[in-house]
Structure 1
């Protein structure tokens, strides 16, 4: 699977975990140069507290377009530290 935005591959892995129709990419699959941590946090009742990244590609910014759970509840351990995308990021094989 590939996560693509602004014609750049943000992440690529054959080991994504799909939960609630979102592909979560392993942290080592990220092209880190496109990711900047933000101060945004949200809470999921069963996964825990999410943290966010802003994507920066060729001078364009996509705020809070990627999220991950640094520490998950027991039920969501398979995605702890894994990153998912939204806000126009294309996920394809």
Structure 2
């Protein structure tokens, strides 16, 4: 297994180019916050890890064809965890000065 370096991550695109994955990533923080899946202090690092993984996999021609299915599955699991709640119900807490 190879670990990524900051230089590798700097070369990753902003989006996967796969609508299901880009949609999943765009709603990740709000929906995971609403579902209370992770402790608030873990959420950003979990998002960054998922984002890096999906972006890296989107660049791999052997993995890319399966990514839409993976992202649909991730989104489906997240919808189940929400139990009908809206992702917008729990906005991020305001930062305190």
With the shorter chain as reference, the TM-score category is under 0.3
Which of structures 1 and 2 has the bigger CA Rg?
2
Tell me which protein shows more helix as a share of its residues: 2
The structure whose RCO (Cα within 8 Å, separation 6+) is larger is 2
TM-score by length of 2: 0.26
